[in-house]
Amino acid sequence: MSTHLLDQGAAAIAAAVREGRATAAEVFADADARRAATHAGPDSLNAILWPATEAPEAAVPHGPLAGVPVAVKDNFATRVLPTSCGSKMLEGWVSPYESTVMRKLRDAGAVLIGKTNMDEFAMGSSTEHSAFGASRNPLDRTRTPGGSSGGSGAAVAAGIVPIALGSETGGSVRQPASFCGVVGVKPTYGRVSRFGLVAFASSLDCVAPFGRTVDDAALALEVIAGHDPRDATSADLPVPAMRVGPGSLDGVVIGVPKEYFPASLDPAVRAHCNRALEELKAQGATIREVSLPHTDYAIPVYYIIAPAECSANLARFDGVRYGMRIEGEGMRDLYESTRATGFGVEVTRRILLGTYALSAGYYEAYYRKAMDVRRLIALDFDRVFASGVQALFTPTAPTPAFTLGAISDPYEMYLSDIFTVTANLAGIPGMSLPIGRVNGLPVGGQILAPHFAEPMMFRVAYALEEALGQEAHR
């Protein structure tokens, strides 16, 4: 019975546990069996790095996630499993405290299956920068599940868990959701506490859930959202209902930014987006073309701001306080040896880029200028939403999942986030859901909404998911 439950979604699992039709231990055992089966042999998904080894003795039997198996990205502090951030720098390190979102999941009755693979310190778009090997896409194991939260996306797509947590700095949940054919939600900056999330770029980082369906993702966000006095950026606002369910879109105005549909967009991706827009229109929505004129600056702005903040945040990994230590001749040699050994190529590249952008004589020319342009990008969204547009629809990624090892140029890799980084720069909510497939590979459609307008975003997503039905997976 519990194996069958794993395919029914988080709400159905929780209901079965609450009603005594299944136990948390039974569901855990079946989820762990799926993990073991998908992680055996040379084609291992390598999605879960640190599996939980024992079934829970007890879960909250009455919670909204009672007995629901979940996985969390390896950059969330947990007391029971390592928090390595996909890096040799923290390999084997176990946190003495846990993140707010992990506590909220436990309090809701969720059961942790394991910690998922990721690009080192969340810096990457394919999980190929994990110190523990790349994850694979469950739909085609020669391809990437995306990144940096690729392990979480793959775990949901493989049916191991209905819900997983990732982190979003520039699209690290929405892009894997698109590549894996699942739902990924980046909430408004401040909607979910970041306490216990290892920082990459503090003005951009968000805790973001994956779900097999829109309802799974909505339920997860309802559980983890809310004010937290331990996070100074956490918004002191009530948490609205996210599980609004499918319904008419009469009166809803959906904008289509022309900058997100360039001539270079993959024709098959464009075709699926056009079909999704027709379905939204059929549900009663008004479709309106809009412009976000500073979109072209998003990638260069992001790759100045994010590395600058990462160079400051990762300065704490020095071989003295915690994590890896490589002894040397004197303190400076200890620092240099530890950081040169502990950090991978992509993390080192971004630290160097960020340190340069913040250095004396260059701060005004790079970081300050990037922050000025970031404000212009945010104002683009403000103007569009102030004009009466209630949500935006775009592609999530310019192409379906690419082959592992196919992209060696860092800038080309960065472009896979071209449609997602703007939401992080502006701080608005966004989500990806499946809208079709190209040669068996999923295509994601992205819905963006004004600040703290997640209920509208979910309203559009529920309607689109219901309208597309099985077409979303063809």
Give 180-207 as a DSSP string.
HTSEEEEPPTTSB--TTBPPS-TTT-EE
Most confident option among 3-12, 181-190, 408-417: 181-190
Question: Residue 80 domain-assigned?
Answer: yes
Query: Quick one: pLDDT at residue 474?
Result: 77
Which residues are annotated as catalytic? 73, 148, 172
How much is the average pLDDT of 137-146? Answer: 98
Structural domain of 95: 2-224
Q: How confident is the model at residue 73 (pLDDT cuts 50, 70, 90)?
A: very high
DSSP string covering 278-341: HHHHHTTPEEEEE--TTGGGHHHHHHHHHHHHHHHHGGG-SSSSSS-----SSHHHHHHHHHHH
Task: Return the CATH number at 405.
Answer: 3.90.1300.10
Question: Residue 272 domain-assigned?
Answer: yes
Q: Is 146 in contact with 116 (CB distance < 8 Å)?
A: no
How much is the average pLDDT of 303-315? Answer: 96
Question: Residue 312 domain-assigned?
Answer: no
Both 215 and 263 in one domain: the answer is no
Q: How confident is the model at residue 321 (pLDDT cuts 50, 70, 90)?
A: confident
Closest among 388, 402, 467, 384 to 439, alpha carbons compared: 402
Q: Among 139-148, 312-321, 398-407, which is the least confidently predicted range?
A: 312-321
Q: Is 33 in contact with 73 (CB distance < 8 Å)?
A: no
Structural domains in the chain (count): 2
pLDDT over 90 at 247, yes or no: yes
- State which of 224, 244, 276 marks the end of a domain: 224
Question: Residue 349 domain-assigned?
Answer: no
Residue 256 and residue 395: Cα distance in Å, rounded?
10
State the chain's mean pLDDT as an integer.
Answer: 95
Percentage of the chain beyond pLDDT 90 is: 89
Question: Residue 64 domain-assigned?
Answer: yes
Both 285 and 188 in one domain: the answer is no
Query: Quick one: pLDDT at residue 331?
Result: 87
Condensed to tens digits (0 to 9), the pLDDT of residues 280-290 reads 999 999 999 99
How much is the average pLDDT of 19-46? Answer: 95
Q: How confident is the model at residue 244 (pLDDT cuts 50, 70, 90)?
A: very high
333 compared with 430, residue with greater pLDDT: 430
Buried-state track 80-110, b at ≥16 Cβ within 10 A, e below 16: ebbbbbbbbbbbeeebeebbbbbbbbbebbb
Helix, strand, coil % (nearest 5) of the chain? 40, 15, 45
Question: Residue 374 domain-assigned?
Answer: yes
Question: Residue 451 domain-assigned?
Answer: yes
Both 72 and 174 in one domain: the answer is yes
Condensed to tens digits (0 to 9), the pLDDT of residues 336-368 reads 889 999 999 999 999 999 999 999 889 999 999
Residue 125 and residue 129: Cα distance in Å, rounded?
9
Q: What is the pTM assigned to this prediction? A: 0.96
Both 194 and 64 in one domain: the answer is yes
Phi, psi of 112 (to 5 degrees): -75, 120
Both 151 and 38 in one domain: the answer is yes
